[in-house]
Amino acid sequence: MLNENFVNTCVLFRDLSELIADSEGEGVGIFAKTLKDNYVGAVDIQVLNPDAEVIMHQPENKLPSRNPAQRYLSLLADVAKGKIDSTSQVTGGDRTDSNEKREELMEVLNVFRGPGEGYQDYTPTEIDATSYEQGGTLIIDIQVGEGEATGSFDLFDANVELPTEGYPDDALASAWDIPPGDTGQIRHQFVCGQRFRLGATGNWFCEKGSTNAFLARISVVPTETQETEDSL
């Protein structure tokens, strides 16, 4: 993906000032200045166009804790297809794309509770996407309430039994550690119509038995829509 679609390079933050000074505002210095101006911290992933404008910016430490490499690859694929532009904000695995033609499935308001360290106590939500025979992208926008507990959310195939302890190794996608009052998003591509189950629980660091509310807005971008947009 990197070699075929991007000019892939790595630069240390401490070297950016020298690159800017040495280039006298031309060539590599313009790119170095853009990188420096948009730097957040730790490892920053930035994609620039040939005019040194930021197309996508994703701090590495804000990638989701489960399968960060898969999420990174998905972001690069979206950039290569032109599905992310310079106005998009991409952080924490949560992205809103104004070009996506979503079809709303359902909206769920419910409560989750802290399970205690090492355990899971899921509030389940059944999701029926069987009508999308050609598949698509399932998108779950999550808003956590102002209560005590921090939320973690895992998406499973409907045939999988939800675990009661340990890591959710069978989860298809996850959004963990969403603090009270904050938001998150789960995105999962599926190739044919199927049923899913969303599990909501408190994370392992909140007090056992503490509770909070959550609102999940669930939608699908059908494969037919995605293919039509790609051909335009």
pLDDT digits (tens, 9 = 90+) for 153-166: 999 999 999 999 99
Which one, of 67, 153, 139, 155, lies nearest residue 103 by Cα? Answer: 139
pLDDT digits (tens, 9 = 90+) for 2-54: 888 899 989 888 888 888 888 776 788 899 988 888 877 667 888 998 888 88
Sequence spans of domains, the chain: 2-80, 103-228
In the CATH scheme, what architecture does the domain 103-228 have?
Sandwich (2.60)
> Which residue matches tokens 């313009």?
30
User: Mean pLDDT, to the nearest integer, of 127-146?
Assistant: 94
What is residue 122's predicted lDDT score, i.e. its pLDDT?
97
What is residue 93's predicted lDDT score, i.e. its pLDDT?
43
Count of C-beta atoms within a 10 Å radius of residue 127: 22
Strand ranges for 29-180 from DSSP E:
44-48, 54-59, 103-113, 123-129, 136-144, 151-157, 173-178
Percent helix, strand, coil in the chain, to 5, is 20, 35, 40
* pLDDT greater at residue 222 or residue 81: 222
Q: What percent of the chain has pLDDT over 70?
A: 84
Q: Is the pLDDT assigned to residue 177 strictly greater than 70?
A: yes
Ramachandran quadrant class, 191 (left: phi over 0; alpha: psi -120 to 50; beta: rest) = alpha
pLDDT digits (tens, 9 = 90+) for 52-102: 888 888 777 666 655 677 778 878 888 887 766 554 445 444 444 545 688
What is residue 98's predicted lDDT score, i.e. its pLDDT?
45
